[in-house]
Amino acid sequence: PWRPHVVLALHACDTATDECIARAVEWEAPLILAAPCCHKDLSRQLRATKAPARYRALVRDGILRERFADTLTDAVRASLLRARGYRVDVVEFVDSAHTPRNTLIRATLTGAVQADDSAALIAELGLEPKLGQLLADVRQP
């Protein structure tokens, strides 16, 4: 069956990045390069739920909630990719002086499956990341 050598998602807004990553996993793409843009999905969910006391300082104020959601979203994406057999690096791909949206998720398919180490945190916060929902429909290799 056909499969791409590389799947690239460059500044795909919000959950469009998740759609690209899920499709790449479905295709068993050997290399995924994702440079996410805005991270609104988990930020909205954090605003709508009552966070456990130990996380309230991170989600009380809008700007802090947004930054926490940005980091959390990409950490969850990386963890879910590792759970699907990818070696993942999350790196800054251009100097932040040029753009604040400079995170690159680089994932190489190795087949070495690791535990999803974000699952407990996501459950504790009561969140439902879009990528997790999408990957639930994709068979494991």
17 falls within a domain: no
Mean pLDDT of 85-94: 92
Indicate whether 107 belongs to any domain: yes
pLDDT digits (tens, 9 = 90+) for 93-135: 877 776 667 899 999 999 999 999 999 999 999 999 999 999 9
- Domain span at residue 69 reads 29-135
Asked if the structure places residue 6 within a domain, the reply is no
| 100 located within any domain | yes
Closest Cα partner for 124 from 40, 49, 48, 69?
Answer: 49
Query: What's the structural domain count of the chain?
Result: 1
Lookup result for tokens 């180490």: 117
Answer whether 0.85 is exceeded by the pTM.
yes
76 lies in some domain = yes
What confidence tens digit (pLDDT) does each residue in 19-70 have? 999 999 999 999 999 999 888 899 999 999 888 899 999 999 999 999 999 9
Q: Does some domain include residue 23?
A: no
- Domain membership of residue 33 (yes or no) is yes
User: How far, in Å, CA of 90 to CA of 67, rounded?
Assistant: 16
140 occurs within a structural domain: no
